[in-house]
A and B are shown apart, each in its own frame.
Chain A
Amino acid sequence: MRVADRWLAVVSPLGLLVLWEGLSRAGVLDPRFIASPSAIGRTLVALIRTGELPYHVGVSVERIVAGFLLGSIPAVALGLAMGLNRSVRALLMPLVAAIYPIPKIAVYPLIIFYLGIGEASKVSIVALSIFFLVLLNTMAGVLGLDRTYFNIARAYGARPVDLFTTIAWPGALPAIFTGLKLGMGFALIVIVGAELLGSDAGIGFLIWRSYQIFAIDVMFAGLLVTAVLGWLATIALDWLERRALPWRPN
């Protein structure tokens, strides 16, 4: 991004905040329904000082990271296998196609029923929600590779495991990152949703509890934190992608 673009990117959110604050102070926005940015800011500072916000953020982040690892590692392995092997693809594709479109949050009651209300169910719903996205992107990444790459490997005597590690995995990595980035969005949606539905910690829980006691400013603070979390996750994945894919132009 050019320097000017960076500045432009700051203008729209900053402008919105100024407008919002102004309307709140002018009495146009009722503070009982919509908290002003300055009030939200004060609440944020207070929540951080008491350690309440870091605790809830920590719980949610831990669930997302654990769910991400639990979902994406098998998804990448299976996606590579499905991309490489026609038979594996034929065997598993109908199953994947059938389960993929089910909104994963709809499965959550069932997961609570099996795993209880604790951490296992939260981590599982995150893992489940990203599994298919990463799987399908990984498979598409392998299928989209130029056949010449596989021929090069085989002409030099590659065994199936070599095709896996030196062609399919590095070649599909850009597509895997696409899957992970899409998955990150879904993971946030699903974890906050799951915490709203049944939990005693996490950002979703914080928002839900604030609703129950009409703490509008805390609800807004929770939303803001969720947005920042998503933004930071995107930055982290972009950074990781640049580190992992130095071979891509730009």
Chain B
Amino acid sequence: MLRAADQVGTGLAGIDVVGLSKVYPGLHGPFAAIQDVTFAVRDGEFAALIGPSGCGKTTLLHILAGLIDSTAGAVTMPRGHPGRLGTALVFQGTSTLPWMTALGNVAYGLRLMGVPLAERIARARGHLERVGLLAFADAYPHQLSEGMRQRVSIARALATDPAILLMDEPLLRIWQEDRKTVLFVTHSLDEAIRLSDRVLVMSASPGRIKTEVPVPFGRPRDYQVIRRDPAYGALSARLWGELREEVLRAGRP
């Protein structure tokens, strides 16, 4: 019953998850969202998490981000330091706060961390610039496009300089130069292969880690080049196979 935020840091900027389960009390008895999930993400590794919808990917990310408690199991993640967050989560879909400007949104995490005003504005402006939105610093989310809002929420996460970045199906094409420990949930196999060092495949509900598939390409990588690599097709086919099995299993009564 440990919350991610309470755990003792190991000093390593990786994720270590052992036997993690989450059981919700349901109308027809308890419902296990995830069961006995065990995996690790190494320091600096970029890991993708794929699985059939409803398998508990978001539940897993929310436990790691400290938003909900787990029922059993343990999570070890680095703790934050002053001015630096241990873990930052980029939410699924648009997750800007409509009553704050783009700058206010990017500075929001820093504000909650107690970073002084001048410093947080400077840091937020820097990260807005990195996602190409400095000219829109004073715009409100309703004045931005969906894609721009998504970039604002990514900038907000990166502005807190997190040791670990958790991402729930964001658009990723804007950054790849960061060497952070990243765990990201995606529906796109292409995206998973293009960006990650390793793909974790989750089973149908109750979700557990079914298999782990390493991606045999170095980083940074050129998508145009790896797409023509025979290993790309083989990997894609294998992941499709794994997912197909789970989707079929999930569809069975």
Residue numbers of A with Cβ under 8 A of B are 148-149, 151-158, 162, 166-167, 170-171, 173, 245-249
Contacts and interface: CB of A to CB of B under 8 A. Distances in A.
Interface in B99-142: 99-101, 108-109, 111-113, 140-142
B5 A157 contact: yes
B189 interface: no
A58 B39 CA distance: 72
Query: Which of A156, A166, A246, A248 gathers the greatest number of chain B CB atoms within 10 Å?
Result: A156
B66 interface: yes
Given A155-B67, A157-B85, A167 B142 contact: no
A149 B88 contact: no
A16 to B, nearest CB: 40
What are the 6 tightest A-B residue pairs by CB atom distance, in nearest-first order?
A170-B99, A156-B109, A247-B140, A249-B142, A155-B89, A156-B112
B91 interface: yes
A152 B88 CA distance: 10
A153 B91 CA distance: 11
A247 B109 CA distance: 19
Contacts of A153: 112
A155 B62 CA distance: 9
A151 B91 contact: yes
A245 B80 CA distance: 34
Contacts of A156: 85, 88, 108-109, 112-113, 160
B236 interface: no
A157 B66 CA distance: 9
**Which of the four size classes fits the interface of chain B?**
20 to 34
B99 A173 contact: yes
Contacts of B142: 247-249
Given A166-B112, A171-B99, 6 more contacts: A149-B97, A153-B112, A155-B67, A170-B99, A246-B140, A247-B99
B97 to A, nearest CB: 6
Contacts of A173: 99
Interface in B129-162: 140-142, 160
* Of A149, A166, A246, A247, most B-chain CB atoms within 10 Å: A247
A151 B93 CA distance: 13
A148 B91 contact: yes
A155 B97 contact: no
Contacts of B100: 170, 247
24 contacts: A148-B91, A148-B95, A152-B91, A152-B95, A152-B97, A152-B108, A153-B112, A154-B66, A155-B67, A156-B108, A156-B109, A156-B112, A156-B113, A157-B80, A157-B113, A166-B111, A167-B97, A170-B97, A171-B99, A173-B99, A245-B99, A246-B140, A247-B100, A247-B141
